[in-house]
Amino acid sequence: MSWSVILEKSAEKDLKKAPHHIVVTFNVWRLQVIELGLSAVQSNPTWNDRPKKGKLKHMRSASLNRKYRVIYRIKYQVKDNQVIVEGVSHDYEKIERGY
């Protein structure tokens, strides 16, 4: 099963504002999802991946560091599953406003 990572405009904007080391860490996470698959990344304790609750219960998040998290949703398809990144920050309220 192959995986692709798609960034929403809000995530692209977050990454432009983020420090360089966060962008590098995000790219490591993204490459691991593509190469190893999402389940391998989710089970890796380094990323502290977990489902969200409340309005964002259809999403998950993975830690990049204490301040930054990858907030994403999963879109399963027949040929290529997609991880759609909604944001790269700890600002869950901003993401909730979109839902």
User: What's the burial of 14, exposed, middle or buried (CB within 10 Å: 0-12/13-18/19+)?
Assistant: buried
Residue 67's region, left for phi above 0, alpha for psi from -120 to 50, else beta, is alpha
pLDDT tens digits for range 57-71:
999 999 999 989 999
pTM of the predicted protein model? 0.88
Q: What is the CATH number of the domain that holds 31?
A: 3.30.2310.20
Which pLDDT tens digit goes with each residue over 20-71?
A: 999 999 999 999 999 999 999 999 999 999 999 988 899 999 999 998 999 9
Q: How many domains does the chain have?
A: 1
Quote the domain boundaries for residue 61.
2-97
What is the spatial distance between Cα 53 and Cα 33, in angstroms, rounded to a whole number? 22
